[in-house]
Structure 1
Amino acid sequence: MRNKPTINKVQLDAIDKQLIKLLYDNARTPVTELAREIGMTAPSINERLKRLEENGAITGYRVDIEPAVLGYSLMAIVRMRQLPGKWKELEALIQAIPEFVECDKVTGEDCYIAKLYLKDISDLDPILNQVAELADTNTAIVKSSPIKRRLLL
Structure 2
Amino acid sequence: MTSDTAIDDIDRRLLRALSDDARLSNSALAKKVGIAASTCHFRVRRLVDRGVIRGFRLDIAPEALGYGIQALVAVRLQPTARGQVATYAAGLARLPGVLNVYFLAGIDDFEVHVAAASADDLRGFVTNLSKAREVASTQTSLIFEHTVGSVGIV
Amino acid at match of 2:54: T
State the superposition RMSD in angstroms: 1.8
Q: How many residues align?
A: 146
Deviations 1:42-100 (A, max 9, x none): 11111111211222111211121111111111110101111242353743541331211
Amino acid at match of 1:62: R
Contact 2:100 2:113 in 1 (8 A): yes
Whole-Å Cα distance in 2 between the matches of residues 12 and 47 of structure 1? Answer: 14
| 1:95 match | 93
Cα 1:27–1:142 change in 2 (3 A) is: same
Contact 2:93 2:100 in 1 (8 A): no
The 5 Å alignment of 1:31-70 reads 31-70=26-65
Equivalent of 2:118, from 112, 117, 120? 120
Unaligned runs of 5+ in 1: 1-6
TM-score (norm 1): 0.85
Cα 1:52–1:130 change in 2 (3 A) is: same
| Percentage identity across paired residues of the two chains | 25
| 2:142 match | 141
Give 1:132 shift: 1.0
* Paired residue secondary structure (1:104): strand
TM-score (norm 2): 0.84
